[in-house]
Amino acid sequence: MAIGSAGTAGGDRPELASGATWRVHGSGAPVTLVVHGLGATEGEARIPASGLRGTRVVLTLPGHGGAADPADGYWSYERVADDVLEAADQVGAERAVGVSLGAGALTRIAARNPVRFERLVLLLPAALDQPRGGEVTEVFDRLAAGVAAAAEDDGEWLRAIVGSGLPGDADVGHYVEQRAATLRRLGPALRTLPRQAPLDDSAELSAVASPALVIGAASDPLHDPSVAEGLAAVLPDARLEVFDSAAPMLDRRPELRKLLTGFLNDR
């Protein structure tokens, strides 16, 4: 499907069979697909698209924002990657930006389709060929427990867990409330995805032709920076940037935007 028939900014959202949907912003070339992380709010999902030239297509995965909840058993890197690739093909995306889960899906696509995208940004990758570490998985287990308890405490514990992982000096506004509301739809994903990895072997990436920008965060409790370092090391043409931050999408947004636009706009 051509970009012109895939949807326009503010128009009806096209939808995949899984419930995934997207919004189109801007026009012209290049077409960049932006894929959010697990539990991202709608505003958070749009952050990596800010300032990019051409057409930005912001994907909304099932269970997020205005997308429908997925069928049972949906939450695997394989299923998410299938949706991301289908959306990319429908809108004719030449480039892609993925955050956390979105980065994992794009990593899986790149391993199997080394020339599918001409340029990749992999922001806060969560796993490569091993599941997340035990301490990170414990955080997700607490989030899942908070979701389970939300029916009785109206999400109070869940909001406390979400807020505890944020930089103390960041202006987060209503972010904690919005993210907690999103996570309440994602109990199965919180239990299963941290125990999975996008790839069986990182060597699968050795044939990827796309220049890639890999971005990590040194203090992020959910994204070990060693994953970003390992991913950049195995990609043939990768640049690594690591923020001294726990949540650069919240407290280092101007610098992050400069990195993304410099990598995607000036080439």
Q: Given this model, what pLDDT does residue 238 score?
A: 98
**How far is 27 from 195, CA to CA, in rounded Å?**
39
DSSP assignment of 184-241 equals TT-HHHHHHGGG--S-S-GGGGGG--S-EEEEEETT-SSS-HHHHHHHHHHSTTEEEE
Domain 21-131+197-265 belongs to what topology?
Answer: Rossmann fold (3.40.50)
- The rounded radius of gyration (Å) of the Cα atoms in the chain is 17
The answer to whether residues 210 and 117 touch, using CB atoms and an 8 Å cutoff, is yes
Q: How many helices (H) and strands (E) does the chain have?
A: 11, 7
Query: What separation in angstroms does the CA of 157 have from each of 64, 145, 149, 168?
Result: 20, 9, 8, 18
pLDDT digit string, tens, across residues 15-53: 999 999 999 999 999 999 999 999 999 999 999 999 999
The answer to whether residues 231 and 206 touch, using CB atoms and an 8 Å cutoff, is no
Domain segments of the chain as ranges? 21-131+197-265, 134-190
pLDDT digit string, tens, across residues 214-223: 999 999 999 9
**How far is 28 from 153, CA to CA, in rounded Å?**
48
pLDDT digit string, tens, across residues 98-116: 999 999 999 999 999 999 9
Q: Given this model, what pLDDT does residue 8 score?
A: 44
Q: Which of 62, 53, 51, 58 is nearest to 22 (CA)?
A: 58
Show pLDDT as tens, one digit a residue, over the chain (267 residues). 445 434 444 446 899 999 999 999 999 999 999 999 999 999 999 999 999 999 999 999 999 999 999 999 999 999 999 999 999 999 999 999 999 999 999 999 999 999 999 999 999 999 999 999 899 999 999 999 999 999 999 999 999 999 987 776 666 678 999 999 999 999 999 999 999 999 999 999 999 989 999 999 999 999 999 999 999 999 999 999 999 999 999 999 999 999 999 999 975
The count of other CB atoms within 10 Å of the CB of residue 32 is 28
In sequence order, what are the beta bridge partners of 215? 123, 241
**How far is 178 from 163, CA to CA, in rounded Å?**
11
